[in-house]
Amino acid sequence: MDTNVGIAPNGVGPTAGPGTGRGSSQGRGGGRNRLRAALITSDDRLRHTVFETLRDSGLPVTVEVDIAASIQFLAPEHLERLRSTQAQIVIVDMSDDPERAIRSAGAIAAGSPQSALVGVGPELDATRLLDAMRAGLVEYIPRPVEGESIREALGRVMHKRGWSGALGNGSKGKLLAFFSPKGGSGSTSVVTNVGIELHRLTGKKTLLVDLDLELGEIASMLGVRPRFHFIDLIRNFHRMDADLLASYIESHESGVHVLSAPFEPEIGEEVSGEHIAQILGFLRDHYDYVLVDTSKSLAPASLAALQTADPIFLVTNMDVPSLRNLKRCLPTLDRVTAGDPSRLRLVVNRFNPKSLVSLADLEETLGIEVDWTLTNDYGTVIESISTGRPLVLNGNSQFANQLKDLARDIVGGSAGANKAKASLIGRLVGRLGSKSKKNRAPVKSAPVEASSHG
């Protein structure tokens, strides 16, 4: 029997119609490890089946928005709730008028690109089904609907979107962010070479993400010609799965994958922190290492990446403007790391032991310890550019070897791990008026030995 007829008793009843919404019977905020879902149906029987299935199946999905209305009659406040909840899954009942419902679903998909839309309705012919998929639906459950078909469809959505791993049921890749608050410090050089070396050492799936959305240069540094970029991924996220993701990614001959920054700087402005967080979560489900080159600013896109990254590599030079910029960013970094300084790694690039500013001065100024120094090596850099080969694949210069050491330490997970660091802010405050007592051993190569920090 087509349960569509079940609409009748409640179709105009107290729970139906535009402007009517319900709080979730599962309660709000299903917790960090649950997916947020929205349900749009005027059919109480379907509502009951969905809630019962979620309760009994153990799927980590919580209905946070329950809208008792037909999809064609959604009121502006419904759309606003859908948008603001950022539901990862939206279950839409399309039974009343599939053709109009497909158009409405398309509008929802466009307004909430992060959501995976799951339609429910009558059997559709192939053309309509194709229309529905083009509108942004990722699954369609023909009526009559049983718990099992809902469970299977949601399971497929979670698999396609890589959410099973996100919820702790699988392995999630490591997200490493590289941030430098001053232009030209070497962030792109470091992230690119460390990514290549990580892949070479481990053979694991490694992705370089260019989140310098205005002027990203990873692709050109590696000589790859991307067909798509980060914003394309955001725009098509509603239909993203592993296969589509693969078509958005370029492969470098070293084996690392690259997700490029946009080709035109201005379109980077469309991006919100939520988009970034969601996409990075998705990428971590598909890669062992995701290395992000952030922009020089603490714009929402960078903040979203820094918030989830562990660790964050702060790439700086030793000149006063670089240190001043970095120091100004420390309170924000303290906030995004929730006061956990063990998530920060300080990389001093273009290190010159004869510099007027010593490493001890630098640590004193910043209140954080230096984890690595990378030598200033113009000749090696020029040669790498002229041969078109990344530094770590182009001989055994000191700079290349230091970058390789850095990657090796990431694999070993040792860097910084044995340093008991106080909260950044705490250290800054604590150091006011106190001089460093430490005797620094001369730095020979990266990484700076933890013991040299006293």
Where do contacts with ligand ATP occur on this chain (CB under 6 A)? 180, 183-189, 212, 217, 296, 349-350, 374, 376-378, 381, 399
Selection from 312, 266, 257 nearest residue 289 by Cα: 257
Taking the complex as a whole, how short is the minimal distance between the CB of residue 279 and Mg ion, in angstroms?
Answer: 20
Selection from 75, 53, 23, 21 nearest residue 120 by Cα: 53
- And the tokens for 148? 């099992």
Q: Cα separation of 321 and 328, whole Å? A: 11
Q: Cα separation of 285 and 197, whole Å? A: 21
Taking the complex as a whole, how short is the minimal distance between the CB of residue 160 and ligand ATP, in angstroms?
Answer: 34
Taking the complex as a whole, how short is the minimal distance between the CB of residue 180 and ligand ATP, in angstroms?
Answer: 5
Q: Which does 186 bind (CB under 5 to 8 A by kind): ligand ATP, Mg ion, none?
A: ligand ATP
Taking the complex as a whole, how short is the minimal distance between the CB of residue 183 and ligand ATP, in angstroms?
Answer: 3
The count of other CB atoms within 10 Å of the CB of residue 362 is: 21
Q: Cα separation of 12 and 82, whole Å? A: 22
Edge to edge, what strands does the sheet with 174-179 contain?
250-251, 257-259, 206-211, 289-294, 174-179, 312-316, 344-351, 370-375
DSSP letters for 90-108: EEEE--S-HHHHHHHHHHH
Question: Which residue has the CB atom at the shortest distance from Mg ion?
Answer: 188
Taking the complex as a whole, how short is the minimal distance between the CB of residue 374 and ligand ATP, in angstroms?
Answer: 5
Instruction: Pick between residue 386 and residue 439 the one whose CB is nearest to ligand ATP.
Output: 386
Instruction: Pick between residue 114 and residue 188 the one whose CB is nearest to Mg ion.
Output: 188
Q: Which does 229 bind (CB under 5 to 8 A by kind): Mg ion, ligand ATP, none?
A: none
Taking the complex as a whole, how short is the minimal distance between the CB of residue 257 and ligand ATP, in angstroms?
Answer: 19
SS3 10: helix
Q: Which does 47 bind (CB under 5 to 8 A by kind): Mg ion, ligand ATP, none?
A: none
Instruction: Pick between residue 164 and residue 325 the one whose CB is nearest to ligand ATP.
Output: 325
Q: Is 188 among the residues that bind Mg ion (CB under 5 A)?
A: yes
Binding piece for Mg ion, criterion CB under 5 A, among 23-31, 84-92, 187-195, 437-445:
187-195
Instruction: Pick between residue 4 and residue 180 the one whose CB is nearest to ligand ATP.
Output: 180
Instruction: Pick between residue 73 and residue 179 the one whose CB is nearest to Mg ion.
Output: 179
Instruction: Pick between residue 104 and residue 188 the one whose CB is nearest to Mg ion.
Output: 188
Binding piece for Mg ion, criterion CB under 5 A, among 65-73, 133-141, 188-196, 201-209:
188-196
Instruction: Pick between residue 117 and residue 346 the one whose CB is nearest to Mg ion.
Output: 346
Taking the complex as a whole, how short is the minimal distance between the CB of residue 20 and ligand ATP, in angstroms?
Answer: 51
Q: Cα separation of 375 and 226, whole Å? A: 31
265: enclosing H helix or E strand: none
**Rg of the chain in Å (alpha carbons):** 25
336: enclosing H helix or E strand: helix 320-336
